Amino acid sequence: MNLHVVIGHGPAGAATARLLAQQGHSVKVITTSGRDPEPGIEHLALDATDSARLIEAARGATAIHGCAAPPYHRWTTGWPPLAASLCAAAEATGAVLVMLGNLYGYGPVDGPLTEDLPLAATGPKGRVRAAAWEQAAALHAQGRIRAVEVRASDFFGPGVTDGGHLAARVVPPLLRGKAVSTLGDPDAPHSWTYLPDVARAMAEVAGEERAWGRAWHVPTQPALSVRDMTVRLAEQAGTAPVPVRRIPPAVLSVTSLFSPLIRELKEIRHQFDRPFTVDSSAYEAAFTVRATPLEEQLKATLEWWRERLAATA
């Protein structure tokens, strides 16, 4: 039984911690506020940017899983100290640093996204996110730490309530028989990464030395548009189809004046206005995790949302 330290308890951090505990590992979860203990999981309250305290908490760990992120509108100021602290903890403890990344760092790309593309983003969020991995990769190349990054597209699945088109924007309206509104082109193919597959990839690469030193895309099902996913969800739910409408750009412009989130999304609008597809074949050729079949993804997600909506009704 090994000790794994998970930084952050958002959807990905929580799923990773619970999976590691189910696999028989000892798990510490670090958040700023802490939480009540769970079976096999110890929750600690500390600021992960405090490298001295993080190092002490991670002593004896086999792996440190970086699943936390600063508030979305504070990425440019919040990511550098967090990334530096994660690297410092990995160097001081010898634990493998498993970073959860996203696809912002590539910037706009024509064609499928592969891990060998340059991190060519010019926007502040893409650049700061790329810089976090570049820092870890440089230290890995120097032999100072062991690091790997797992990159996912928009999360989808049980536990995901924001941050993606298929979370609060699609499933709750669909289950209530209401129209679905989307930020971009509802017919543009888009890759959706299933949250449990993220956790399985995070756990797998932590123990695979041949994975270290580079980034990998989480196994992800073939891309489907928001409209296609809404149709598939309605079929799985046994409900009538609902309209899928694009929010007019003029409405988004006005909304951005009052919504920091909508304003901050401007940098990555290309991900929703045109095809955005992920190639995860490199991971699938090297390791055992595969994307969960789509019908299983849809069924589990709908069941989770039905329970959530019933509990909050």
Q: Are residues 182 and 297 in the same domain?
A: yes
Q: How many domains are there within the chain?
A: 2
Tokens standing for 311? 């509990």
Q: Are residues 227 and 253 in the same domain?
A: yes
Give the three-state DSSP class for 31.
strand
pLDDT band with cut points at 50, 70 and 90 for residue 164: low
Q: Are residues 105 and 179 in the same domain?
A: no
* Domain assignment present for 16: yes
How deeply is 149 buried, as exposed, middle or buried, from its count of CB atoms within 10 A (0-12, 13-18, 19+)?
buried
Q: Are residues 199 and 257 in the same domain?
A: no
Edge-to-edge order in the sheet of strand 41-45: 41-45, 26-31, 3-7, 63-66, 96-101, 146-151, 215-217
* Domain assignment present for 262: yes
CATH code of the domain in which 67 resides: 3.40.50.720
CA distance 76 to 191: 26
* Domain assignment present for 238: yes
Q: pLDDT tens, 75-105?
A: 999 999 999 999 999 999 999 999 999 999 9
Q: Are residues 126 and 262 in the same domain?
A: no
Looking at the predicted structure, is the pLDDT value of residue 33 above 70? yes
Give the three-state DSSP class for 40.
coil
**What is the pLDDT at residue 263?**
67
**What is the pLDDT at residue 73?**
86
268 closest CA partner among 69, 66, 128? 128
Q: How far is CA 121 from CA 115, 295, 303, in A?
A: 14, 34, 37
**What is the pLDDT at residue 261?**
66
* Domain assignment present for 60: yes
182 in Cβ contact with 253 (< 8 Å): no
Q: Are residues 42 and 141 in the same domain?
A: yes
Q: Are residues 73 and 173 in the same domain?
A: no
CATH code of the domain in which 234 resides: 3.90.25.10
Q: pLDDT tens, 242-274?
A: 999 998 777 767 666 666 666 667 777 788 889
Mean pLDDT, rounded, of the chain: 93
Strands (E), the chain: 3-7, 26-31, 41-45, 63-66, 96-101, 146-151, 154-156, 180-182, 192-194, 215-217, 244-246
Q: Are residues 163 and 138 in the same domain?
A: no
Looking at the predicted structure, is the pLDDT value of residue 138 above 90? yes
Q: Are residues 115 and 256 in the same domain?
A: no
Can you spell out the DSSP letters for 150-179?
EE--EEESTT--SSSTTTTTTHHHHHTT--
Q: Are residues 198 and 186 in the same domain?
A: no
* Domain assignment present for 288: no
Tokens standing for 45? 């309250």
Q: pLDDT tens, 112-126?
A: 999 999 999 999 999
* Domain assignment present for 273: yes
Q: Are residues 136 and 162 in the same domain?
A: no
- Mean pLDDT is lowest, of 18-32, 180-194, 207-221, for 180-194
Q: How far is CA 143 from CA 19, 82, 147, 305, in A?
A: 29, 21, 10, 45
- Mean pLDDT is lowest, of 58-62, 103-107, 255-259, 281-285, for 255-259
Host domain of residue 168: 158-190+222-278+293-312
Tokens standing for 274? 């045109």
* Domain assignment present for 40: yes
31 in Cβ contact with 6 (< 8 Å): no
| The one-letter amino acid at 125 | K
pTM of the full predicted structure?
Answer: 0.95
Q: How far is CA 303 from the centre of its chain?
A: 21
142 closest CA partner among 81, 217, 213? 213
* Beta strands 146-151; 192-194: pairing state: unpaired
Mean pLDDT of 176-203: 95
* Domain assignment present for 47: yes
Can you spell out the DSSP letters for 210-247?
GGTTSEEEPP-PPP--HHHHHHHHHHHHT-----EEEP
Q: Are residues 36 and 78 in the same domain?
A: yes
Looking at the predicted structure, is the pLDDT value of residue 7 above 70? yes
* Beta strands 3-7; 192-194: pairing state: unpaired
CA distance 311 to 305: 10
